[in-house]
Amino acid sequence: MLMIGNPTPDLEVEAFMPDGRFKRLRLGSLLGRWAVLFFYPQDFTFVCPTEIRGYEAFAPRFREADAVLLGASVDSVHVHRAWVEHGLGKVSFPLIGDVTRRLAQAFGVLLEDEGVAARATFILDSQGRVASVTANALEVGRSAAETLRLVQAFQAGGLTACEWHPGDGLLEAWRTVMTHKARHLVVTLALIALVATAPLTANAAQGHYLQRNLITNFRDKYRTRLEPGYRTLRNKRVLNAWGLASRPAGAGGLHQRGGSKLFASWYK
């Protein structure tokens, strides 16, 4: 199955159009517009007509969002026309006839044992890439309203919270950034406390070794989180504020060569 970020296969397909014509369409022509391609198992069934009527009810809303709707099944375009004229009712978007199963195979939704496409929905962005993919068991119909909500959320151009709907505000990115900064601050403070309280002996050289050994173990475990912390600790004023820059090791601080040199020596 195609996943998020995958490009849309540029296939040529045959579709039954809203005006009653048969027309060949190329998926590559959708570039520049958002699109919803939903696969359903078969015409003249039970769950499928409820879904197509559901999407038809929301078709004006999809048009307002400048999103193209496309339905697809393994039926021929002639079967699509017969279904529309004798049971389903008028549909205002193309129904693709995927008799060869090429389209279903290209999107990875062909159920080999059943010989039909899964009940899968792909939202394609204006760059022709998959923005969303969902699939249901054949017995369970999907929600056209939720598909529309997802399209609108993607088009909102920001961070959208759970159950976001048009008119709701977007999440403020700076809060997320501050959360990461707070994490780095905690790691930095933990590192400083670790250095300041490292067990030392009366022998400064041995104490220096114990400090380095303890810090190195901490560094190896949390290296990816320490980058911002180390950048902070290189600032001598921070070390001075904590009284760690010039205290001799025997006094419970860093070696008198200076805290910034010690950190520079092991953070490589």
Q: What is the DSSP letter of 38?
A: E
Residues 6+ apart with CB under 8 A from 56: 89, 90, 91, 92, 93
What pLDDT does 43 receive? 98
What pLDDT does 255 receive? 43
Q: Which of 15, 36, 37, 48 is catalytic?
A: 48
One-letter identity of residue 165:
H
pLDDT along the chain (268 residues), means of 10: 96 98 97 98 98 98 98 98 97 98 98 97 98 97 98 95 94 64 65 59 54 63 54 50 48 44 44
Task: Write down the pTM of the prediction.
Answer: 0.67
Residues 6+ apart with CB under 8 A from 69: 35, 36, 38, 55, 59, 62, 93, 94
Sketch out the chain's domains with CATH numbers. Answer: 12-155 (3.40.30.10), 173-266 (no CATH)
Residue 162 annotated as catalytic: no
Residues 6+ apart with CB under 8 A from 191: 215, 218, 226, 229, 233
Residues 6+ apart with CB under 8 A from 73: 39, 40, 41, 42, 43, 48, 80, 95, 96, 97, 98, 116, 117
What pLDDT does 238 receive? 47
Q: Cα(104)–Cα(66) distance, rounded to whole angstroms?
A: 25
What pLDDT does 193 receive? 65
Burial class (CB in 10 A: 0-12, 13-18, 19+), 172: exposed
Q: Cα(161)–Cα(170) distance, rounded to whole angstroms?
A: 7
Q: Cα(71)–Cα(87) distance, rounded to whole angstroms?
A: 17
Q: In 3D, which of 114, 35, 34 has the Cα closest to residue 73?
A: 114
